[in-house]
A and B are shown apart, each in its own frame.
Chain A
Amino acid sequence: MYVASVDELRLKFPGTDTLLFEDVSVSFTKGEKVLLLGPSGCGKSTLLQVLSGIIPHSLDVPMKAKHVRIPDNWGYVFQDPDSQFCMPFVDEEIAFALENIGVPREQMKERIEQLLQAVDLSVPPHTNIHTLSGGMKQRLALASVLALEPDVLFLDEPTAMLDDEGTELIWKTVKRIAHDKTVIIVEHKIEHVLDFVDRIILFNDAGEIVADGETSTIFHMYKSFIASNGIWYPGVWEDYLQQKKKRATNEERQEIIRLHEFRGYRKKDVKIHVPKAQVQKGEWIAITGKNGAGKSTFLHALMKLIPTDGEYEVEGERLAQTKQLARKIAFVFQNPEFQFVTNSVWDELAYSLRLAKRGEQEITEKVEEMLKRFHLEAQRAQHPYQLSMGQKRRLSVAAAIIGGQQLLLLDEPTFGQDAKNTFALLELLESYREQGTTIMMVTHDEQIVNHFATRRWVIENGKLVREETVIMEEGEMRCEIGYSLS
């Protein structure tokens, strides 16, 4: 007997021309741990929503199927840690689930404590959710789903928005609490999932099932398919590095930024302090540090989006205003949408040039060049908001740097991206760096630091505490000074 299944599913999103699924059938037996794999946008999450009955009960999406079997008792963890809660405090959020299934009030306090323990979330129950990190939020989401006592767990990319540490903790928790449950997972970062699932279902970008079988068999037989679909599988970096071309070193030594006793303030408190630092032309500086250490604040201070004091020179000049700085420095925010100001990709690229009153001829040439370089030619007429995640990110970088700025600041530009888009973006950035552009980038990804950065700046508690040179040895081998290699 199946716990969840769908037979000959047809589904289509309003406003699109093609069916997302055409006669897809899939079923799951009790206790199975299954991973759905495929390129972004192939409909895996939608399939989870159909299997759980969210479509069509809560979401009005046109679909039909011969037969759908929805599990009696299920729980669903979503991707975005910031949009699955409706209550302000941890205990209230878990209580919300308990209220829905009618748990008597007297038992709630105890249940809440148990659930928090079960997911290893050691905070006082009455903690404001706003103060939790992404990883903690996702464990809270797991706790409130467990409150429903589900037999089947749907996990819809629960770690897409998390750093390595958060990702590992989530899967550790899932493994501990879900061994006796049926678990159906959609995930792009599969390193910590592979030893947990016993079955993989592979989808192609047309929403068809390509393969369905035992984990080890599928993973080995379809490795190149998996690799070409942008999935973060174990060893993806090694494979990538093998085909990556050698990077050109930039021997030019020319100072572009100089900082001395530089401080940035929020509400009169020092939020970032840089005692002394310089950046050379053509460097790629990775800014790392814990959540809330002040990395983004540092970038904001460099753009003078917050009050600052101390010495800060860009190409030997002291600039007081964001507007002046923006002519020399391109800035890419974490959420690209907030930066879009026009209604088409083309206009978005042309925007800064038009603002700078460049000639139409020059604008056209420049925009066309960028469309090509950033692989956005086919999307030129689309609204920026309608692009895919990877395209949006590329557009935001292209639109920021089209003015010819020599310095590029990026706030976690690879956050939540699949492997394919991550590598594509990194290579674009590298191509700019080779031409002499300087890059300063906030990141949590150690691999990016090791393979792309030339230097690492570590920020702790609002202070730049360490600089480490990441140097290249013979060929592609690189190691870091100041770190013991393990």
Chain B
Amino acid sequence: MRLDIRYRETWLHQTNPTFKLLVMLSVFLLVLFVHNPNVLINLSLGLLLLFFFYTGYPMKHLVLFFLPFFVIFVSTASSMTFFGQGTTTWVRWGLVHITKESFFRGMHLGFRALSFALLGLLFSLTTRPVYLFYSLMQQLKVKPKYAYSFLAGVRLIPVMLEEFQTVQNALKVRGADEGGPVKKMKRYAVPLLSQSIRRAQRIAIAMEAKRFSEAKNRTFYYQIGVSRYDVIFLVTMIGLIGLSYYMASVFPYFPLTDVR
């Protein structure tokens, strides 16, 4: 959770959350159909720039957030590199078979995973869940009963993490933290789930007691609108993609244009 880290609001924070989500999902889908590693590398670098300079978080934390994603990059890239099919063999060592094709495919997949991760980080670091769900209700007409349920759920995340700790301690004290993984998982899951079910029930009833379901003309505390920041965001993303393609054709890193 990054709830307690101080950050500076940037234009990415000001963008309409629904719009931001939709644009990012489009970029995500687009990336699925990019098979040219040159384009993908450029795009990833562009997203990386946004991540480091426009999310408003201190550099120290950004690096920390980024580390696990780098591991994924390596892991994703290597599994395809080592076991993929191909015709131009570079290394053969037991089951490991590295070919030119599998290497590029592996690199491509690595960058793809990296760009997905960056899209996700860019979004979650610059969006308050409350604004997202208000925006979903206002712009996409998501039903309030779903939106507020999600909000209530998100609010409980830190509470649940605390409870997880408590259960862990309690099991330790009782000497019940040993045994097979299945037994262990159940010992955690039963108290946490039953507590959650009860709590969810109570919160739902408390919400109903505040006339939630009877609301006919619901007003909103936050009015989430569209602003010039949305235009800036859209232009940036389109520019980034355009530039990635342009640079890939003018200054390619590899002579390859399709890894399939």
Q: Residues of A at under 8 Å CB distance from B?
A: 49, 52, 54, 57-59, 75-76, 78, 80, 82-89, 91-92, 95-105, 108, 129-130, 144-145, 147-148, 300, 303, 305, 322-323, 326, 331, 333, 335, 337-341, 351-352, 355, 385, 399-400
Nearest 4 interchain pairs by C-beta:
A95-B221, A86-B152, A84-B206, A58-B208
Task: Please tell me if the beta carbons of B195 and A326 are within 8 angstroms of each other in the complex.
Answer: no
Of the candidates A57, A102, A145, A323, the one whose C-beta lies within 8 Å of that of B219 is A102
Select B215's contact among A82, A83, A99, A352, beta carbons within 8 Å.
A99
* The one of A75, A85, A105, A303 that contacts B223, using a Cβ cutoff of 8 Å: A105
* B174/A86 in contact, CB under 8 A: no
Report chain B residues within 8 Å CB of A300.
169
Determine whether the beta carbon of A341 is less than 8 Å from that of B148.
no
How far is it, in angstroms, between the C-alpha of A440 and the C-alpha of B204 when the chains are bound?
38
On whether the beta carbons of A78 and B166 are closer than 8 Å, the reply is: no
Q: Residue of B at shortest CB range from A105?
A: B219
Report B188-222 residues with CB < 8 Å from chain A CB: 191, 194-195, 198-199, 202-221
Q: Which residues of B contact A (CB under 8 A)?
A: 130, 148, 151-152, 154-155, 158-159, 163, 166-167, 169-176, 187, 191, 194-195, 198-199, 202-221, 223
B174 and A339 form a contact (CB under 8 A): yes
Between A and B, 28 residue pairs with Cβ closer than 8 Å are A54-B205, A57-B213, A58-B205, A75-B209, A83-B198, A83-B199, A83-B203, A86-B148, A87-B130, A87-B152, A87-B155, A88-B154, A92-B221, A96-B210, A96-B221, A98-B219, A99-B218, A99-B221, A100-B210, A102-B218, A105-B223, A148-B211, A323-B172, A341-B187, A352-B174, A352-B175, A355-B175, A400-B174
Give complex CA distance A100, B206 in Å: 13
* Minimum CB distance partner of B158 in chain A: A130
Q: Which residue of B is nearest A109, CB measured?
A: B221
Chain B residues contacting A333 (CB-CB under 8 Å) are: 166, 169-170, 173
Which residues of chain B are near A99, meaning CB under 8 Å?
A: 215, 218-221
Chain B residues contacting A129 (CB-CB under 8 Å) are 155
- C-alpha spacing A57/B209, complex, angstroms: 10
Of A58, A326, A331, the most chain B CB neighbours within 10 A belong to A58
A57 and B208 in contact, given A87-B130, A305-B172, A323-B172 (Cβ under 8 angstroms): yes
Whole-angstrom distance from the CB of A277 to the nearest CB of chain B? 22
Q: Tell me the nearest residue of chain A to B202, going by C-beta.
A: A83
| Shortest distance from the beta carbon of B203 to any chain A beta carbon, whole Å | 5
CA distance A103 to B159 in the complex (A): 31
- A83/B206 in contact, CB under 8 A: yes
Docked Cα-Cα span, A340 to B198, in Å, equals 17
Within the complex, the shortest CB–CB distance from B207 to chain A, in Å, comes to 5
**Closest CB of chain A to B75's CB: distance in Å?**
29
Complex Cα–Cα for A80 and B166 (A): 19
Q: Nearest chain A CB to B104's CB is how many angstroms away?
A: 44
- Chain B residue at minimal CB-CB distance from A107: B219
Contacts A54-B209, A102-B216, A341-B174 known; 6 new A-B pairs at CB < 8 A: A54-B205, A87-B130, A103-B219, A148-B210, A323-B175, A339-B174
CB of B132 to closest CB in A, whole Å: 13
Is the pair A86, B211 in contact by a Cβ cutoff of 8 Å? Answer: no
Evaluate whether A338 and B215 lie within 8 angstroms (CB atoms) in the complex, with A58-B208, A300-B169 already known: no
B207 — nearest CB in chain A belongs to which residue?
A86
Whether A101 pairs with B221 at a CB distance below 8 angstroms is: no
B210 contacts A340, C-beta separation under 8 Å: no
Residue of A nearest to B173 (CB): A331
Minimum CB–CB distance from A122 to chain B (whole Å) comes to: 21
A147 to B210, CA, bound (A): 9
Please judge, given known A-B contacts A59-B205, A337-B194, whether A82 and B199 are in contact too, CB under 8 Å.
yes
From B208, B211, B221, residue with most partner A Cβ within 10 Å: B221
Residues of A close to B210: CB separation below 8 A: 96-97, 100, 144-145, 147-148
Chain B residue at minimum C-beta to C-beta distance from A49:
B205
Q: Would you call A326 and B219 a contact (CB within 8 A)?
A: no
Residues of A within 8 A of B203 (CB): 83-86
CB distance from A63 to the nearest CB of B (A): 15
What is the chain B residue whose CB lies nearest that of A296?
A: B166
Give the nearest-CB partner of B195 in chain A. A337
**Cβ contact within 8 Å between B213 and A58:** yes
State the Cβ distance, A71 to closest chain B Cβ, in Å: 12
